[in-house]
Amino acid sequence: MDAIEITGGRPLSGEVQVSGSKNATLPQIAAALLAPGRSTFRGVPDLADIRTLGKLLGHMGARVERDGATVYVDADRVANPEAPYEMVKTMRASVLVLGPLVARFGRARVSLPGGCAIGARPIDQHLKGLQLLGAKIDLAHGYVEAQAARLRGATILFDLPTVTGTENLMMAAALAEGRTVLENCAREPEVAALADALNAMGARIQGAGSSVVTIDGVNSLRPMDIQVIPDRIEAGTLLAAAMITGGDVVVRGARPEDLDGALAKMREAGARISAERGGLRIVAPERPDAVDFITAPFPGFPTDLQAQLMACLTVARGASRVVETVFENRFMHVQELVRMGADIAVDGHTAVVRGVARLSGAPVMATDLRASASLVLAGLRAEGKTKVHRVYHLDRGYESLEKKLAALGANVRRVKGALA
Ligand code: UD1
């Protein structure tokens, strides 16, 4: 298992380019299952999660090829509409194949994802929605088995906004008979990007990116050729890297409209952020001011940036209060940050972070994707050497993060095959 080794203390400076969005690519590639023929995806990040989905589609009989940043998916010969446990357990987002498979093939067998490091994460909303579209759902042997001769449009009110749930049902409804209205939808930019992709396939979807999405079902769809949007979470992570080091960085490809909630808090913490050179420039103070924040569905502060901003606040002037409302177990980075000298107390969903003047480098262990990123950020600030183990978590969602940080002046390198 690789590790990332960082010697902290250098303010970052320069320009860095954001890669394509992981969470936008995954549902778009799953959507390729909706149509026979070859779809083309441009600007696809080379990440473990994308490779996992590629393998899953390959397992079903699709042909998936990569040429640089372009991925081709030919879904002509899908013979086996099944997502086995071995694949779903490594990536929950595999559940995104459920909607497209039932819609096009009339049946699907997908392993239940189960728990994960950040909480229980049920898929009841996905299943309730498919049932309302007329699918027969059985749970047996750890699998969801869904069947429907043809899905029928319906009005579906989500109990809570779910990103992949909204995406799964948009894909299913695209081939249903009649009109589907989805209410209380997730408004994340990745949902809107998926609707754009589906509409490019010939779907008739309106309102994606707002809380009500209307889908007029069509009889068939055609392959798409699309450009992936930039990764707003990677962009936010790079801004946070500049923030924690008191740096001056231009993050190219960062779109302010995708990052509203996070930018507001970074500004409140004293960063100057402006649109520049096709992205965002951040000029950060030597130490941030303390800020309180609470995670929420888009356009609120994203849970996927909670750990990274918390890392910045460990060296803030004053005490900050962080409330996590989206996932129940998403403070796994706290104990590792404490090992680096941070002063953080957790009580239920709330963490109180008392800023300290300095962090000290230490060996630390990542437990999930965004927690890993927060430890790398803390290492950039800490005195001495930090070694972040279990980097496979980081590799699920960040393309060459250590190379991007090194190009901004950080003293960081990957150690191959380090002991965990
Ligand atoms: C997506 C993102 C993930 C991000 C999360 C929240 C992808 C591939 N992943 O995950 O990076 O952290 O959004 O922004 O896009 N819930 C239910 N029942 C359901 C579905 C969800 O109770 O059927 C709950 C979840 O447990 C959670 C909340 O709803 O508490 C939001 O989860 P959801 O938006 O579904 O997250 P994902 O789509 O899995």
More confident residue, 342 or 113: 342
C-alpha of residue 297 to centroid of ligand 1, in Å: 9
User: How much is the pLDDT for 419?
Assistant: 62
Name, in order, each residue with C-beta under 8 angstroms of 166's C-beta and a sequence gap of 6 or more: 158, 182, 185, 186, 191, 213
Q: Which atom of ligand 1 is nearest to the CA of 297?
A: 14
> Catalytic one among 116, 157, 294, 415?
116
Determine the residue of 164, 303, 396 to mutate for testing ligand 1's pocket, defined as the one with the most ligand atoms within 8 A of the Cβ atom.
Answer: 164
Q: How far is Cα of residue 380 from the mean position of the Cα atoms in its chain?
A: 23
User: How much is the pLDDT for 420?
Assistant: 55
Report pLDDT digits (tens) over 262-306.
999 999 999 999 999 899 999 999 999 999 999 999 999 999 999
Report pLDDT digits (tens) over 152-176.
999 999 999 999 999 999 999 999 9
On the CB side of 63, CA atoms within 13 Å amount to 6
User: How much is the pLDDT for 328?
Assistant: 85
Phi first, then psi: give them for residue 237, nearest 5 degrees. -65, -40
116 is catalytic: yes
Q: How far apart, in whole angstroms, are the C-alpha atoms of residue 264 and residue 273? A: 9
pTM score: 0.97
Determine the residue of 29, 162, 184, 308 to mutate for testing ligand 1's pocket, defined as the one with the most ligand atoms within 8 A of the Cβ atom.
Answer: 162
